[in-house]
């Protein structure tokens, strides 16, 4: 019986965390100004989704439901975002890196 009440309290706290996350997500969605382009609507939606996903992970962690899975999934998503940013940065600065390597090779050719 005591375990039931302990789980019930964790569940209520998890629901409260999720509710606050939904509120904050919608608040962020409304707070991001919308301009004439489509990008601002995308930013507002991305902010809301990110906040709701974080709140959901926190709520599941609090309730004790699949703690390891939530932690692993959150880490994998964060790692995937980091890898995607690194690839985008690398592909976006490919020309600048090529120019830098060319300058290095010119200096090395003159100095040798």
Model confidence pLDDT, tens digit, residues 44-94: 898 999 999 889 988 988 888 777 888 888 889 889 989 998 888 888 888
4 vs 9, 17, 63, 68, CA distance in Å? 9, 20, 12, 22
Predicted TM-score (pTM) of the model is 0.65
The span from the CA of 87 to the CA of 45, in Å, is 23
Which has more pLDDT, 38 or 49?
A: 49
**CA angle, residues 73, 76, 80, in degrees to nearest 5:** 140
What pLDDT is stored for residue 91 in this prediction? 84
What is the structure's pLDDT at 32?
86
Chain-centroid distance, C-alpha 105: 39
Strand, helix or coil for residue 33: coil
Structural tokens at position 48: 């809301």
């Amino acid at each position: 019986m005591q375990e039931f009440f302990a789980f019930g309290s964790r569940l209520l706290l998890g629901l409260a965390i999720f509710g606050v996350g939904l509120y904050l997500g919608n608040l962020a969605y409304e707070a991001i100004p919308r301009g004439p382009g489509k990008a601002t609507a995308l930013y507002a939606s991305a902010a809301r989704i990110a906040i709701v996903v974080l709140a959901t992970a926190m709520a599941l962690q609090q309730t004790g439901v699949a703690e390891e899975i939530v932690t692993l999934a959150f880490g994998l998503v964060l790692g995937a975002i980091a890898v995607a940013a690194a690839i985008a940065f690398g592909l976006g600065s490919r020309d600048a890196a090529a120019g830098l390597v060319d300058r290095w090779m010119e200096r090395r050719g003159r100095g040798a």
